[in-house]
Amino acid sequence: MENLAHETIVAISTPPGRGGIGIVRLSGPRAVPMAEALVRLRHPLQHASARFAEIYEPSAPGEPAAEGTSEAPRKLDEAVVTCFQAPRSYTGEDLVEIAAHGSPVVLQMLVRAALAQGARLARPGEFTERAFLSGRLDLTQAEAVRDLIDAQTLYQARVAAEQMGGALSRRVQPAKQQLVELIALLEAGIDFAEDDVDVTPNAQILTRIDAMQPILESLHRSFARGRLVHSGLTLAIVGRPNVGKSSLFNRLVERERAIVTAMPGTTRDLVSERVSLGGIPLELVDTAGLREGADEAETIGIQKSREALADAHLVMLVVEGNTPLSEEEQALAASLAGRRALLVRNKSDLVQQKSLLDTQPEALFASPPEASSEKESETVTNIRAVSTSALTGEGIAGLRETLLQMMQAEGMGSESGMLTSLRHHEAVSAALAALGKARAAAQAGIPHEMVLLDLYEALRQLDSLTGETTADDILNRIFSTFCIGK
Ligand code: GDP
Ligand code: ZN
């Protein structure tokens, strides 16, 4: 950990190519003197202050121009230089940022000059790695920096920002604290059994484990939604051929992607496209008409449609608003009971009889199966209907709004501190498994040394989440919570 900090690293921190501004970043013990050698400052660098600077072409390769040489050095650019001194910087080390105009040639010249001064090119992510190593960020926060940079929708950025602020770490913290306390209790029980500290009764161990488990279990479950932050929800667009599925798909995508034709049964393959609704990623899947008695290619398409329908988080059943629902459509509607489904009455521009649009959608989704679980009954009542015209655009904004509400009802955008990566999920799974083993061991009356092994494993897993080391933590904990007295 210490060795790393001896080197000063340098990199261009702005994206490759030309830009209005380009930033060269230096971090490490020599960042300040190096920066002072790279540019000409009128005032010395000072913590958290911006300084004007001029950039001159080096007079000899690799050497910055010095004043008073025979050939007058050529000025190339002007820059603003900011400096943050250790430990109050992003990396926790001395950090200098030179913001010049975004000319790759000038930025590369600055980097070369820094290398000539003894800096090393930073590896990918090394500034954040240093922030982690210096304890400025824990591992989940460091990961969140990456996720924020990678975010493609506002929702992804929001979740990353929360995690960067420590939302996930804060959610793990209570379980971890309880775990450390239990370990400390058992360690003391073992080490000082002959002295005045009692051996912990197994019933107390079980009670304590039972208190931690729900915290970790709810965290573990959060991955079901957390994983969707990256992948998004899927929406299957289903319905008879020619009702306007592809046209609605295009309206939602706002590009001509799916093929629209006036002939029934042309969307034989699945067409999917990712959109961002209210900042939340949503994958739209346009399906072939779910029609019986079609030709072979169409049958394959229909099979795929059924699979897409089964897999999707949300379903949009499209019907023609100007005709009553066919038997087939009613059957399809009924089969969607228990799903988060939306009935879209399209072609509203053709509707003469507006009363058709007023039919209660619940009537169409008749005979829901015995609503056994809470989720099912809740979903059945969530069925809504909207009317649209893919042709004129009427009702499309309302459709988007309804879809967004359905996404939010799926838990998107509400929870904070979710597990968002497989790494998180595996760590919490392993911690839960170890905790389960510890519980079983305590229940079976197995010696506490063995129970401790599982508890340490659970702690190690939770620590791997935040990237902390713990041996010292536990020792401190033992000596601070128990009066040793000798
Ligand atoms: P799909 O088979 O369900 O995907 O239907 P398409 O999107 O391919 O549309 C079938 C036909 O209906 C095309 O001729 C569309 O132009 C037309 N269509 C789609 N939506 C509307 C609408 O809202 N109003 C009217 N009048 N025609 C529409
Ligand atoms: Zn289509």
| pLDDT tens-digit readout, 189-238 | 876 666 555 578 899 999 999 999 999 999 999 998 898 888 889 999 99
Residue 282 lies in a domain: yes
CATH code for the domain of 462:
1.20.120.430
Is residue 441 scored above 50 in pLDDT?
yes
Kindly state the percentage of the chain with pLDDT values over 70: 78
Is residue 357 scored above 80 in pLDDT?
no
What is the per-residue pLDDT for 180? 94
Residue 185 lies in a domain: yes
Looking at the structure, tell me whether residues 239 and 127 fall in a common domain.
no
What is the per-residue pLDDT for 17? 85
Residue 226 and residue 412: Cα distance in Å, rounded?
9
Closest by CA to 26, choosing from 131, 109, 111, is: 111
Task: Please work out whether the CB of residue 389 comes within 6 Å of at least one atom of ligand 1.
Answer: yes
Looking at the structure, tell me whether residues 175 and 239 fall in a common domain.
no
Residue 108 and residue 99: Cα distance in Å, rounded?
13
Query: Which pTM does this prediction carry?
Result: 0.75
Residue with tokens 């001509």: 256
Is residue 316 scored above 60 in pLDDT?
yes
Looking at the structure, tell me whether residues 189 and 323 fall in a common domain.
no
Looking at the structure, tell me whether residues 279 and 373 fall in a common domain.
yes
Is residue 478 scored above 80 in pLDDT?
no
What is the per-residue pLDDT for 470? 40
The pLDDT tens digits for 89-143 are 999 999 999 999 999 999 999 999 999 999 999 888 888 888 888 889 888 888 8
Residue 238 lies in a domain: yes
Query: Mean pLDDT throughout 470-482?
Result: 37
Looking at the structure, tell me whether residues 201 and 319 fall in a common domain.
no
Is residue 366 scored above 60 in pLDDT?
no
Task: Please work out whether the CB of residue 257 comes within 6 Å of at least one atom of ligand 1.
Answer: no
Distance 243 CA to ligand 1 centre (A): 6
Q: What are phi and psi of 237, to 5 degrees?
A: -100, 110
What domain count does the chain have?
Answer: 3
What is the per-residue pLDDT for 144? 86
Task: Kindly report the average pLDDT of the chain as a whole number.
Answer: 82
The more confidently predicted of residues 368 and 411 is: 411
What is the per-residue pLDDT for 362? 53
Looking at the structure, tell me whether residues 401 and 441 fall in a common domain.
no
Looking at the structure, tell me whether residues 208 and 318 fall in a common domain.
no
Kindly state the percentage of the chain with pLDDT values over 90: 48
Rounded to 5°, the CA angle 252-314-251 comes to 10
Longest dimension (CA), the chain: 94
Looking at the structure, tell me whether residues 293 and 202 fall in a common domain.
no
Query: Mean pLDDT throughout 24-34?
Result: 96
Looking at the structure, tell me whether residues 251 and 394 fall in a common domain.
yes
CATH code for the domain of 288:
3.40.50.300
Task: Please work out whether the CB of residue 7 comes within 6 Å of at least one atom of ligand 1.
Answer: no
What is the per-residue pLDDT for 469? 52
What is the per-residue pLDDT for 18? 86
Looking at the structure, tell me whether residues 189 and 296 fall in a common domain.
no
Ligand 1 pocket: which of 238, 240, 242, 305 to mutate (most atoms within 8 A of CB): 242
Is residue 418 scored above 80 in pLDDT?
yes
Query: Mean pLDDT throughout 285-306?
Result: 67
Residue 57 lies in a domain: yes
Task: Please work out whether the CB of residue 14 comes within 6 Å of at least one atom of ligand 1.
Answer: no
Examine the fold and report which residue of 352, 384, 409 is the final residue of a domain before the chain moves on: 409
Q: What are phi and psi of 403, to 5 degrees?
A: -60, -40
Distance 366 CA to ligand 1 centre (A): 27
The pLDDT-based confidence of 300 (bands split at 50, 70, 90) is: low
Residue 149 lies in a domain: no
Residue 41 lies in a domain: yes
The more confidently predicted of residues 270 and 194 is: 270
Is residue 380 scored above 60 in pLDDT?
no
Residue 295 lies in a domain: yes
Residue 455 lies in a domain: yes
Q: Domain of residue 209: give its range.
A: 168-223+420-481
Task: Please work out whether the CB of residue 347 comes within 6 Å of at least one atom of ligand 1.
Answer: yes
The pLDDT-based confidence of 476 (bands split at 50, 70, 90) is: very low
> Closest ligand 1 atom, CA of 261?
8
Query: Mean pLDDT throughout 393-417?
Result: 89
The closest ligand to the CA of 251 turns out to be: 1
What is the per-residue pLDDT for 66? 53
The reply, when asked if residue 359 is annotated as ligand binding, is no
Task: Please work out whether the CB of residue 245 comes within 6 Å of at least one atom of ligand 1.
Answer: yes
Looking at the structure, tell me whether residues 265 and 392 fall in a common domain.
yes
Looking at the structure, tell me whether residues 297 and 401 fall in a common domain.
yes
What is the per-residue pLDDT for 301? 64
- List of residues 6+ apart from 89 with CB closer than 8 A: 27, 95
Query: Mean pLDDT throughout 435-449?
Result: 94
> Closest ligand 1 atom, CA of 286?
4
The reply, when asked if residue 263 is annotated as ligand binding, is yes
Name the closest-CA residue to atom 19, ligand 1. 244
Query: Mean pLDDT throughout 294-316?
Result: 76
CATH code for the domain of 45:
3.30.1360.120
> Closest ligand 1 atom, CA of 262?
14
Query: Mean pLDDT throughout 8-20?
Result: 90
The closest ligand to the CA of 265 turns out to be: 1
